[in-house]
Amino acid sequence: MDVIRWCYFLLLLQPLFFSPSHTQTDSFTSILISQNGLDFVKNLLVNKAIASIIPLQIPRIEKSVKIPFLGGIDVVVSNLTIYELDVASSYVKLGETGVVIVASGTTCNLSMNWHYSYASWIPPMEISDQGIASVQVEGMEIGLSLGLLSDKGGLKLSLSECGCHVKDISIELEGGASWFYQGMVNAFKDQIGASVESTISNKLSEGVSDLDSFLQSLPKEIPVDDKAALNVTFTTDPILRDSSITFEIDGLFTKAETNQVLRSSSLRNSAPSSICPGNSKMLGISLDEAVFNSAAALYYNAEFMQWIVDKVPGQDLLNTARWRFIIPQLYRKYPNQDMNLNISLSSPPVVKISEQYVGANVNADLVINVLEADQVIPVACISLEIRGSGALRVMGNNLGGSVKLEDFSMSLKWSNIGNLHLHLLQPIVWTVIQTVFVPYANDHLEKGFPLPIIHGFTLEKAEIICSSSEITVCSDIAYLDSSQHPRSGLSLPRSAPWINTLL
């Protein structure tokens, strides 16, 4: 059974022997890699793996040959080195629990030293000769069958089968009386081919082990700032379909350094088979609105959403003299006194996402303070219900955006200066929201938060699609080495040589 058929056979058998090793937990972010994305990653891994293993040393081969009238001849092939490897074609195939990667039409070129010796008994003496040779291997097939499961919030990669088959090999000797010994060295073809197969298979097995360590070392969270991080633990085994693989991660915001995740009361539907139209893009990242609401709840609980407004840009509003026709009793009680406005959210903002609209509802309390001598005197509190709409955009590997005010409503919560005519206050409150609150929010929203992208990869030609309760970033990806951009996002420890080459 050749390498390709054996790998497929193992892939089909895996569901019979492996059962899911996890308990399903909530997932609020899905990452789907389409066939285009799989091919991109496969080509990158193949090229990087080749670059990292060349030159590849093959163990020396020793052989004794019986020659009539001469007796035993000891032949040694040493310094056997693969210095060039070329993959004509390769592809990746997905099964229910594993991945098959096949490279076919592979050729490699080797160099080697050859040496022989034998003892002559008429007259008694040792006869030897040596030289170099070039070896060409053609039609080589290489196949890997891999299992991929979630393990304690990370990913575990296992090697189910690894094979390498050499179809044809030619040897050309140089040096010494090479023309005379060509036939003798040709007897080494099978052993050289077997050594090439064994060495490449062992090297691939080591690479899979290194890649498994790499995957298990993926960080469980991405820092956002000094208050928050993004929980990127895997919640279930990867979902493999014919032409895509989907990873389900938690995706919610967590307090930095505490790992306390703010859970959502809503549940997502099962992972879709396609989250980008036609799977034309390499990558699709789908985020439930619960991700944004967990961020809002975290910053709210961190008491990050409170502002003291003592100056309104372009306006001289914060003095009781400017309010004498709006709230006459305020001016009479505190004539010509400076003021400030204390705005604090009374509950976490609520983000809603639909096909046509990304919006947020914000409930806040606005306390009017009078500044008298060294005292801050609260005189009234107005409850605000603010409704805004948002626009999202991808900046590098970050998802950011902006918000604009749609409308708001007011109600009097309490007052120490009697009843207030809220309709007269509305223009002032609108100005405060537009010139203070909205710019402050946009300053933070424009920075965005990191999407779960492994360092070294960057999004290209990203598009954002809104649907019921979630947004999806559909994008192609490119690979940049460490010299082309700063390290950010999922920064990873580097251990194995070929992993170092990749990163």
Q: 177-193 pLDDT, tens per residue?
A: 666 566 666 777 888 89
Indicate which CATH number applies to the domain containing 109: 3.15.10.10
Asked if pLDDT for residue 14 goes beyond 50, the answer is: no
* 180 assigned to some structural domain: yes
Looking at residue 70, what is its pLDDT? 58
How many angstroms separate the first and last alpha carbons of the chain?
36
* 494 assigned to some structural domain: no
438/397 same-domain check: yes
The pLDDT > 90 percentage for the chain reads: 55
Which structure tokens are listed for 255?
């307090």
* 489 assigned to some structural domain: no
Report pLDDT digits (tens) over 155-178: 999 999 998 999 988 888 776 666
* 18 assigned to some structural domain: no
Report pLDDT digits (tens) over 216-275: 888 899 999 888 999 999 999 999 988 899 999 999 999 876 555 555 555 555 555 567
Indicate which CATH number applies to the domain containing 406: 3.15.20.10
Helix (H, G, I), strand (E, B) or coil at 211: helix
* 49 assigned to some structural domain: no
The number of folded domains in the chain is 2
Place of tokens 């296992």: 158
Task: Tell me what the pLDDT averaged over the chain comes to.
Answer: 83
Report pLDDT digits (tens) over 58-105: 999 887 766 655 566 788 889 999 999 999 999 999 877 689 999 999
CA distance 264 to 459: 28
Backbone torsion region of residue 253, taken as left when φ is above 0, otherwise alpha when ψ lies between -120 and 50, otherwise beta: beta
122/91 same-domain check: yes
227/361 same-domain check: yes
Helix (H, G, I), strand (E, B) or coil at 275: coil
Looking at residue 351, what is its pLDDT? 96
Decide which of 186, 217, 248 is a domain's last residue: 217
Amino acid of residue 34: S
297/420 same-domain check: yes
417/327 same-domain check: yes
Decide which of 159, 188, 217 is a domain's last residue: 217
245/131 same-domain check: no
183/241 same-domain check: no
State mean pLDDT over 377-402: 95
State mean pLDDT over 402-426: 95
Q: Which residue has the higher pLDDT, 154 or 1?
A: 154
Which pLDDT band, with edges at 50, 70 and 90, does 120 fall under? low
Instruction: Report yes or no: 390 and 402 within 8 Å, Cβ to Cβ.
Output: yes
Decide which of 185, 217, 249 is a domain's last residue: 217
Q: Which residue has the higher pLDDT, 324 or 6?
A: 324
CA distance 431 to 435: 6
Place of tokens 């709840």: 297
127/267 same-domain check: no
Residue numbers of the domain that contains 128? 54-217
pTM flag (> 0.85): no
* 293 assigned to some structural domain: yes
Report pLDDT digits (tens) over 308-338: 998 888 778 899 999 999 999 999 999 999 9
Looking at residue 13, what is its pLDDT? 35
* 330 assigned to some structural domain: yes
Asked if pLDDT for residue 418 goes beyond 80, the answer is: yes
246/331 same-domain check: yes
86/166 same-domain check: yes
CA distance 30 to 471: 11
State mean pLDDT over 341-365: 94
280/385 same-domain check: yes
293/203 same-domain check: no
* 2 assigned to some structural domain: no
